[in-house]
Amino acid sequence: MGILDQFFVYHPDPWKDQDWKARSGLPLEEVWFQSGDGTKLFGWYVESDPTSAIMLWCHGNAGNIINRLENMRELYRIGLSVFIFDYRGYGRSQGSPSEEVLYHDALGAHDYLTRNRMIPPERIVLFGRSLGAAVAGELAVQKPAAGLILESSFPSIGAVAKFHYGGLPLHWLLGAEFSLIDRLPQLSLPKLIIHGDQDDIIPLELGRQVFEAAKPPKFFYAIPGADHNNTYLVGGAAYFRRLAEFIESVL
């Protein structure tokens, strides 16, 4: 791990004990599962319908799964089942994050769905937001799925560092690369790439670079007025309709 990774890349929040099932109004099922190396991880499974698509959600670099509950409610409302999990070091999950182990954690989540719950891969849609887009991209290289949704994504940590620090090679001090752009040419499954056009953390041009690197079939959806963290709020009904149309098309 690079000397700056824990300052620049990973910003986990600890767990807060509350009755999240009651507060969210969702049928949250608590799930404990193992990463590939045996690390104990925690997630929530929300089933909409036994035959619906399952979104396997790789979240961004900050907070934990609690911060995604509002978004999960909307996904559940449009008929999606969701499995969201915390990487190690986030929320209730054990261990400490690094690029390599985040990939292992996502593999463990996929294995949980296909082996423990016996869900066929053709019902699984991978969803990655921000840093999670790179995690979902690596997962798509290694495991089968019906489709891949990348939101607020970036080509690599180096590309983001160059944008924010005026070309200074800050990424040389980071161990993490999260080079999504190297994985996209290998992926033949359908892809939906979503980006807010007012994103000042990962600018729209970096999202377009992700799209250009991807193999068809691929679709780009820009959300007018949305920044990095409010895509689903600003996008509103049109955003969720686009998600539903894509998922319906790949199942």
DSSP the chain: --TTHHHHT-EE-B---S-HHHHHTS--EEEEEE-TTS-EEEEEEE-S-TTS-EEEEE--SEE-GGGGHHHHHHHHHTT-EEEEEPPTTSBT--S---HHHHHHHHHHHHHIIIIIS---GGGEEEEEETHHHHHHHHHHHHS--SEEEEES--S-HHHHHHHHTTT--GGGG-S----HHHHGGG--S-EEEEEETT-SSS-HHHHHHHHHHSPSSEEEEEETT--SS-HHHHHHHHHHHHHHHHHHHH-
Among 59, 110, 195, 228, the one annotated catalytic: 228
Among 130, 153, 156, 179, the one annotated catalytic: 130
* Tens digit of each residue's pLDDT (9 = 90 or more) over 38-56: 999 999 999 998 889 999 9
Average confidence score pLDDT of the chain:
92
> Looking at residue 8, what is its pLDDT?
56
Active site residue 199: yes
Among 98, 104, 156, 199, the one annotated catalytic: 199
Active site residue 228: yes
Of 5-19, 45-59, 95-109, 143-157, least confident by mean pLDDT is 5-19
* Tens digit of each residue's pLDDT (9 = 90 or more) over 115-173: 999 999 999 999 999 999 999 999 999 999 999 999 999 999 888 878 877 654 554 44
Active site residue 130: yes
Q: Is the pLDDT score of 1 beyond 50?
A: no
